[in-house]
Amino acid sequence: MTLRTGRLETPIGALAWAERDGCLRAACFEEQWPRMQRRLGERAEDGEPARRGAARGAVDERLRAYFAGDLDALAELPVDPHGTPFQQKVWAALREIPPGRTTAYHELARRVRSREAARAVGAACGANPIWIVIPCHRVVAAGGGLGGYGGGLRRKRWLLEHEAALPT
């Protein structure tokens, strides 16, 4: 099946995304999309080109609902990120962090049974191909600071405020 893409205007910028067979494969802010497209191209199974704007349905509806205030709208959205077994473990643990909560990198490392791997967890968060849905924005620094975010700290702050999870 063809990889289909979509674009959604959000309060914090345009979000671009790709899905195949009903599973979200990638989502990021538009300025990072060219890099994400290259990454998707590297793992294409069938060599078919993406059809820009062709996807509509559950992905678009659930993203709209999330930004409209339904913070649980993304919880059941099927995802298909490709990564190493360690990345997959971290990304699965990220999806278990509910809206309104945050965790620190070292806590996430403990959850994936890799106590000494806070930096590796940070690297897995940085490699996350499905922003917001795999909520790496919910991971903060141990001291309570925001830490990093590929979409920028302004967006991370907005997402955490939207979810009533901004650390004090």
Contact 53, 99 (CB under 8 A): no
What's the pTM?
Answer: 0.88
> Residue-wise pLDDT tens for the chain (168 aa)?
578 889 999 999 999 999 988 889 999 999 999 888 887 775 555 444 444 444 457 888 999 999 999 999 999 899 999 899 999 999 999 999 999 999 999 899 998 887 668 888 989 999 999 999 999 999 998 887 888 898 999 999 999 999 998 876
Catalytic residue among 23, 28, 125, 136: 136
Which residue matches tokens 């995304």?
Answer: 17
Catalytic residue status for 136: yes
Strand partners, 15: 8, 29
Angle separating helix axes 118-126 and 85-95, nearest 10 degrees: 80
Contact 29, 131 (CB under 8 A): yes
